[in-house]
Chain A
Amino acid sequence: MAGQDLKALADRAATEIAAAADEAALEASRVRYLGRKEGALSEATKKLASLPPPERPAYGAAVNDAKIRIEKALEAREAALRDAALARELGQEREDLSLPPRRVRLGRLHPISQTMREVSRIFATLGFETVEGPEIEWDYYNFEALNIPPGHPAREKWQTLWISNPLGDDPSRPILGRTHTSPMQVRIMEERRPPIRVVIPGRCYRYEATDAIRESIFFQYEGLAIDEKLTMADLKGTLYAFARQVFGSDRKIRFRVDYFPFTEPSAEIAFDCFACEGKDPNCHVCGGDGWIEAAGCGMVHPDVLRRVGYDPTRYQGFAFGGGIERIAMLKTGAPDIRLFYQNDIRYLEQF
């Protein structure tokens, strides 16, 4: 057999092996070509000794080449057959994947927690640090330090739950459930020097009948920024940036006159209605007005600054406050503020 014959042999073998239908056919091919006794290549190898020495190396190499090609073909076909068998087998292991999964227990944050985090997160992007403070508060911080002395008519705006201490009350220092988060303005300014940028979320209390939009125990967020050159335009821009992050980037903002004894000038901010954009006279979100009143705000009153020892000719700034539940309700369409506090899991697990 000459070198060309060996190559032809290898070609024939490769074709045959590639067509082997199963393991048995493959084994038959292996015996036919590589079998020790009658394999075609064994025959060729035996022939080597009968060749004249100068022809031997070339012939030997040709035999080896043929052997390697055949072995590779066998390996490849064997792998292919194995894969096909495995694939067939896996195909048999069919599960009904429409059966329910083995479930994990799910817990969720309460919508109030979610909203407070959202408010803190957004104000953090504007450089406001989140701070907290006492819910049970001195009359001084809740009212007096904010220009609302006893008997001030503005106290009617903040109907108060007065608190009695079982270890004894001091009539000269009444305590109360803070009616807003604003006392923290004073506490923060007492502790720090400008520049200040803080946001204070927290629970507040009012002596008030409850209904679908009002609770006597509720959460607010308060903002305070004090520096040398802050203006009402900065206040407007800050709340605008907040509104856009909460309710969408195409929101508009509106300021109208309002009154708080501890800010001057004072304003109320409203956002244009994200639900109807002022186009639906029966809108359930804005009531058809096109605007959603969101927070009270203003420039911190010079008397408040003076009381904490700041020089109002050098420092000025702004403050704002709004309702946490209101944001949660507007964003999610939650229908009734009281449902937040009934803690019916069927309600909470929707948030």
Chain B
Amino acid sequence: MLIKVPVSWLREYVEIPISIDELALKLHMSSTEVKGVERPWWGEKVRVGRIAKLAKHPNADKLLLATVDYGEGRTKTVVTGATNLVEGAIVPYADEGAEIIDGHTGERTILRGKPMRGIQSEGMVLSSKELGLGEDHEGIRILDRDLPVGAVLREVLGETILALEVQPNRPDCLGVVGIGREVSALLGTRLMEPALDRLPERAPKGLDVRIDDEVACPRFAAALLTGVHIGPSPTWMQERLIAAGMRPIDNVVDITNYVMLELGQPLHAYDHRQLRDGVLVARAARRGETIRTLDGIDRVLPERTLVIADGQRALGIAGILGGEDSEIRADTTTVALECASFEPRRIGRTTADLNLHGSSGSAAARRFAWELSPEAVPLALARACRLLREHAGAQLEGVVDRYPQPRPRVNVRMHFSDMPRVLGIEVAPEETLDILRRLQFTVAADGDTLIATPPAVRTDIAIAEDIVEEVGRIAGYDRLPTRVPDGPLPLAERHPFEDFRERARDALVGFGLQEIVAYSLIDPAWLGMLKADDGDCIAPEPLRVINPTTVAQSAARSTLRASLLDTARRNLRQRTSLAIFEIAPVYIPRRGDLPDERTTIAILLAGDASPVKEGETWLVGNRKWDVRDIHGIVQGLADLLRVATRGEEAPAPGMHPGRSLALTDGGITHLIWGQLDPRVAGMWELPDETFIAEIDLVSWHRAAQTVKIAPPPRYPAARRDLAVVVSETTRYADVEAAIRSAAGRELESLGLLDVYRGAQIGEGRKSFAVRLVLRSPTTTLADADVDRVVRRIAGRLQHEVSATIR
């Protein structure tokens, strides 16, 4: 939680003998992240000055000549009309060139030396208005006489504000006093806690409190104050509230806020007139109970909500939001002041239920969501009572404090040797004890044993490691050496699938494809744009994000295709050639389990095939990608990964029906390749001729074969070319299968040379020119052997695909 700590306020509780920049660095390194140091805008030329001498202006009755000492023996003479100056007064001094506020226009301006009635004024002593600290422009602002002469004014006056990001384990740092405690430990200076009124033992007449749910509300105290005069709070208090980011309202509300900012503990003030039966009850909301909260909204309270009620109705949502009925009004004279402790997770859940989460929640609710110490309750109440007495005329009638099960104090029993065990460096026992005492821990040592009791406000300390951290951070982590772990190296496991995937990635890059990494969450509407008809989606119904940041990222993609097409669409607006791929998991829902995250490859080719720079056709012609290219990439990848792509051919949804192929094996489609359905391509503003492939890499990994390494063949190969004439409807795959089955083991390879159609072979027929490479591992094949194989092939082709061999 970001809090703003005005340095002047912090100085009230702890001495800071170092510069604010040094302090900020120490806090940042050892205590609380410093998000920024917000300073007054005065530059280095506005300093603390001392009036060394006052003299009359020789030419003007109403003007004075003031000699200002601003450190290191430097003096300047300025002309002023102010009447409140005396010799020795400490004042803000602006040298020529300083930025100040023009007392007349109210605008910022650069101070220029100028003659006044014949005497050069070499600078200026400043009013509050000229510093931007108030409206007072009558006299010079007289500063605290202890301020060091010559100091840059912004270092010692005005609200230099530390913006601190307090971590949720440190609710004790949500108040200025808590930060003071840290500073005191870091600098070794004394912590001066704020003045409290001693709370009376007696219970007030006309006010009682009751806890119905001790888990949700472990401690509940209230004070009854009479004779309250509602009015504005003192200026200094208002200034501090503003500096810390809160708006002043009236003295009672301001004091509750002030104490919250000071001690971290929120309070809530009720107009006692509105309390029925003179009682405050912490209880669960009743079914259907409603309340109008301070923000003017009528809310139906969820049943488990903890409310603060009087004898009859809910007054507010405990720790989160007060009710309108019982708020402090201008004519309030008797105040019931609540100071309580709530179970943080209940607060967290309720703010979530009421949608008051995050920075929109009230300052009190955000603090109560952390584990504040119940021990802070009487402190905050006593502090508020004192301030109400001082600034609202309040008379304390009595206090009631219910704390049915006081928390036992934490005592951490540990060893001094835990420091080197965890930190890796020795910290002397004396230093350990000193650091802990500076942090207000109570410590006792006996030999190596150490018993440490944290101050009551610290709720984050439970185990030895917590104490080690306290000592380590204050001692400073820069003392740790940089060591590399020794000891036996763990035996690393093998990751064959990941290795396989990375080989695929390298292969595709080697083929000249650019890898993309797209968002894994997509617009669910995209899934509807992957098919031309209204049939089922090409991919399973995806997991949905319940609270998406945008609808464009609200479904966990169950296919990579949509991301691929989207990427292609955007790229093809400014280029004519595209060859891309992505390797990423798709998320396939499983009942009662996390989804199956299946690593998938998606490839897309569109536009010019030439491997050229955009627009260049030099030496390569201007060829477009075609279906054989995508087939080639798939086949090349399969060959490189040694995957035998087998399976049943099935229609590929979303693809061109005549120019695509899906292979399924065991019910899983492990490969799709071909041309995208042009109607789908159109929906994505892609060219009709867009080619994609999708590979289920998990299946491919299973189908990958281990290689058996053999020496190169010893006997020569025989080559024979055949022209196989078949009907136009016969597929090459059937021809190939027939040849392979007939040729037997001696067929080393089979290549397609050409497909010929023409008058020579007749209408409705085509001729596959194929080349057979035959080789025997044991002998040189004679022509007669080859002829025998070819005859066998010819017979088989004739029989199975009615082919004639030419």
The residue that B490 contacts in the complex, of A168, A195, A236, A241, with Cβ under 8 A, is A195
Taking a contact as CB atoms under 8 Å apart, the answer to whether A108 and B465 are in contact is no
A209 contacts chain B at the CB level, 8 A cutoff: yes
B424 contacts chain A at the CB level, 8 A cutoff: yes
Task: Provide the residues of chain B in CB contact with A210, threshold 8 Å.
Answer: 549
A347 vs B517: C-alpha distance in the bound complex, in angstroms? Answer: 13
B270 contacts chain A at the CB level, 8 A cutoff: no
Taking a contact as CB atoms under 8 Å apart, the answer to whether A241 and B484 are in contact is yes
| A25-60, CB < 8 A from B | none
Task: Provide the residues of chain A in CB contact with B477, threshold 8 Å.
Answer: 232, 236, 254-257, 267
What string of 1s and 0s marks CB contacts (under 8 Å) between A80-115 and chain B?
A: 000000000000000000011011111111101100
Task: Provide the residues of chain B in CB contact with A153, threshold 8 Å.
Answer: 168, 344, 348, 369-371
Taking a contact as CB atoms under 8 Å apart, the answer to whether A112 and B517 are in contact is yes
With A228-B487, A231-B423, A255-B478 already in contact, the answer to whether A156 and B168 are too (CB < 8 A) is yes
B76 contacts chain A at the CB level, 8 A cutoff: no
Q: In the complex, what's the smallest C-beta–C-beta distance from A159 to chain B, in angstroms?
A: 8
Q: In the complex, what's the smallest C-beta–C-beta distance from A334 to chain B, in angstroms?
A: 13
| A106-130, CB < 8 A from B | 106-110, 112-113, 117, 126-127, 129-130
What string of 1s and 0s marks CB contacts (under 8 Å) between B331-375 and chain A?
A: 000000000000011101100000000100000000001110000
The residue that A344 contacts in the complex, of B423, B570, B620, with Cβ under 8 A, is B570
Taking a contact as CB atoms under 8 Å apart, the answer to whether A232 and B423 are in contact is yes
With A196-B490, A257-B473, A259-B167 already in contact, the answer to whether A233 and B505 are too (CB < 8 A) is no
B535 contacts chain A at the CB level, 8 A cutoff: no
Taking a contact as CB atoms under 8 Å apart, the answer to whether B482 and A253 are in contact is yes
Q: For residue B564, which residue of chain A has the nearest CB?
A: A343
Task: Provide the residues of chain B in CB contact with A65, threshold 8 Å.
Answer: none
Taking a contact as CB atoms under 8 Å apart, the answer to whether B509 and A107 are in contact is yes
What string of 1s and 0s marks CB contacts (under 8 Å) between B148-171 and chain A?
A: 000000000000000000011110
| A160-184, CB < 8 A from B | 160-168, 170, 175, 177
A338 vs B349: C-alpha distance in the bound complex, in angstroms? Answer: 33
Q: In the complex, what's the smallest C-beta–C-beta distance from B500 to chain A, in angstroms?
A: 13
B546 contacts chain A at the CB level, 8 A cutoff: yes
Query: In the complex, which of the residues A113, A130, A216, A232 has the most CB atoms of chain B within 10 Å of its own CB atom?
Result: A232
A154 contacts chain B at the CB level, 8 A cutoff: yes
Taking a contact as CB atoms under 8 Å apart, the answer to whether A156 and B544 are in contact is no
| B509-560, CB < 8 A from A | 509-521, 540-549, 553, 556
Task: Provide the residues of chain B in CB contact with A113, threshold 8 Å.
Answer: 505, 515, 517
| A257-292, CB < 8 A from B | 257-259, 261, 264-267
Among A4-12, A16-24, A133-141, the stretch in contact with B: A133-141
Taking a contact as CB atoms under 8 Å apart, the answer to whether A136 and B512 are in contact is no
B28 contacts chain A at the CB level, 8 A cutoff: yes
Q: For residue A243, which residue of chain B has the nearest CB?
A: B482
Q: In the complex, what's the smallest C-beta–C-beta distance from A34 to chain B, in angstroms?
A: 46
Task: Provide the residues of chain B in CB contact with A168, threshold 8 Å.
Answer: 591-592
A127 vs B371: C-alpha distance in the bound complex, in angstroms? Answer: 40
The residue that B483 contacts in the complex, of A129, A164, A231, with Cβ under 8 A, is A231
Taking a contact as CB atoms under 8 Å apart, the answer to whether A234 and B490 are in contact is no
A238 vs B481: C-alpha distance in the bound complex, in angstroms? Answer: 11
| B163-211, CB < 8 A from A | 167-170
The residue that A233 contacts in the complex, of B168, B480, B495, B589, with Cβ under 8 A, is B480
| B472-515, CB < 8 A from A | 472-473, 477-478, 480-485, 487-490, 492-493, 495, 498, 502, 505, 508-515
Taking a contact as CB atoms under 8 Å apart, the answer to whether B612 and A103 are in contact is yes
Taking a contact as CB atoms under 8 Å apart, the answer to whether A240 and B482 are in contact is yes
With A261-B169, A264-B466 already in contact, the answer to whether A166 and B547 are too (CB < 8 A) is no
B135 contacts chain A at the CB level, 8 A cutoff: no
A237 contacts chain B at the CB level, 8 A cutoff: yes
The residue that A164 contacts in the complex, of B349, B521, B546, B587, with Cβ under 8 A, is B546
Task: Provide the residues of chain B in CB contact with A177, threshold 8 Å.
Answer: 521, 545, 556
Task: Provide the residues of chain A in CB contact with B420, threshold 8 Å.
Answer: 231
A294 contacts chain B at the CB level, 8 A cutoff: no
Among B574-582, B659-667, B764-772, the stretch in contact with A: B574-582
Task: Provide the residues of chain A in CB contact with B508, threshold 8 Å.
Answer: 107
Taking a contact as CB atoms under 8 Å apart, the answer to whether B28 and A234 are in contact is no
A203 contacts chain B at the CB level, 8 A cutoff: yes
A316 contacts chain B at the CB level, 8 A cutoff: yes
B618 contacts chain A at the CB level, 8 A cutoff: yes
Task: Provide the residues of chain A in CB contact with B58, threshold 8 Å.
Answer: none
A197 vs B489: C-alpha distance in the bound complex, in angstroms? Answer: 8
B86 contacts chain A at the CB level, 8 A cutoff: no
A131 vs B505: C-alpha distance in the bound complex, in angstroms? Answer: 18
What string of 1s and 0s marks CB contacts (under 8 Å) between B448-490 and chain A?
A: 0000000000000001011011001100011011111101111
The residue that A259 contacts in the complex, of B28, B170, B556, with Cβ under 8 A, is B170
Taking a contact as CB atoms under 8 Å apart, the answer to whether B589 and A167 are in contact is yes
What string of 1s and 0s marks CB contacts (under 8 Å) between B559-586 and chain A?
A: 0000000010011001100111000010
Taking a contact as CB atoms under 8 Å apart, the answer to whether B597 and A167 are in contact is no
Taking a contact as CB atoms under 8 Å apart, the answer to whether B567 and A208 are in contact is no
With A162-B546, A259-B170 already in contact, the answer to whether A343 and B571 are too (CB < 8 A) is yes
A199 vs B541: C-alpha distance in the bound complex, in angstroms? Answer: 33
Query: In the complex, which of the residues B371, B483, B520, B574 has the most CB atoms of chain A within 10 Å of its own CB atom?
Result: B483
With A163-B546, A231-B422 already in contact, the answer to whether A102 and B484 are too (CB < 8 A) is no
Taking a contact as CB atoms under 8 Å apart, the answer to whether A346 and B490 are in contact is no
Taking a contact as CB atoms under 8 Å apart, the answer to whether B515 and A137 are in contact is no
A241 vs B485: C-alpha distance in the bound complex, in angstroms? Answer: 11
Taking a contact as CB atoms under 8 Å apart, the answer to whether A207 and B514 are in contact is no
B227 contacts chain A at the CB level, 8 A cutoff: no
With A164-B546, A228-B487 already in contact, the answer to whether A255 and B498 are too (CB < 8 A) is no
Taking a contact as CB atoms under 8 Å apart, the answer to whether A136 and B480 are in contact is no
A229 vs B518: C-alpha distance in the bound complex, in angstroms? Answer: 42
Taking a contact as CB atoms under 8 Å apart, the answer to whether A258 and B611 are in contact is no
Task: Provide the residues of chain A in CB contact with B490, threshold 8 Å.
Answer: 127, 129, 194-197
A1 contacts chain B at the CB level, 8 A cutoff: no
A236 vs B463: C-alpha distance in the bound complex, in angstroms? Answer: 23
The residue that B594 contacts in the complex, of A138, A154, A264, with Cβ under 8 A, is A138
Q: For residue A293, which residue of chain B has the nearest CB?
A: B33
Taking a contact as CB atoms under 8 Å apart, the answer to whether A163 and B545 are in contact is yes
Taking a contact as CB atoms under 8 Å apart, the answer to whether B520 and A217 are in contact is yes
Task: Provide the residues of chain A in CB contact with B358, threshold 8 Å.
Answer: 156
Taking a contact as CB atoms under 8 Å apart, the answer to whether B595 and A136 are in contact is yes
Task: Provide the residues of chain B in CB contact with A237, threshold 8 Å.
Answer: 481-485
Q: For residue A197, which residue of chain B has the nearest CB?
A: B490
Taking a contact as CB atoms under 8 Å apart, the answer to whether B510 and A344 are in contact is no
Q: For residue B584, which residue of chain A has the nearest CB?
A: A203
Taking a contact as CB atoms under 8 Å apart, the answer to whether A104 and B611 are in contact is yes
With A100-B618, A236-B483 already in contact, the answer to whether A342 and B570 are too (CB < 8 A) is yes
Task: Provide the residues of chain B in CB contact with A136, threshold 8 Å.
Answer: 543, 556, 587, 594-595, 597
Task: Knowing that A156-B358, A236-B477 touch, tell me 14 more A-B residue pairs with CB under 8 angstroms.
Answer: A102-B619, A107-B509, A107-B579, A129-B490, A131-B495, A149-B345, A153-B168, A154-B169, A165-B595, A208-B549, A217-B519, A227-B485, A233-B425, A256-B477
In order of increasing CB-CB distance, the 10 nearest A-B pairs are A151-B345, A105-B512, A233-B424, A231-B424, A105-B611, A265-B469, A255-B477, A259-B167, A153-B168, A129-B492
Q: Which residues of A contact B (CB under 8 A)?
A: 99-100, 102-110, 112-113, 117, 126-127, 129-132, 134-138, 149-157, 160-168, 170, 175, 177, 194-197, 203, 205, 207-210, 216-217, 225, 227-234, 236-238, 240-241, 253-259, 261, 264-267, 299, 301-302, 316, 340-346, 348-349
13 example contacts (A-B, Cβ-Cβ < 8 A) are as follows A105-B512, A109-B509, A134-B594, A151-B348, A156-B168, A163-B544, A163-B556, A167-B589, A195-B487, A203-B520, A231-B421, A302-B463, A343-B517
Q: Which residues of B contact A (CB under 8 A)?
A: 28-31, 33, 167-170, 344-346, 348-349, 358, 369-371, 420-425, 463, 465-466, 468-469, 472-473, 477-478, 480-485, 487-490, 492-493, 495, 498, 502, 505, 508-521, 540-549, 553, 556, 567, 570-571, 574-575, 578-580, 585, 587, 589-592, 594-595, 597, 611-613, 616, 618-620
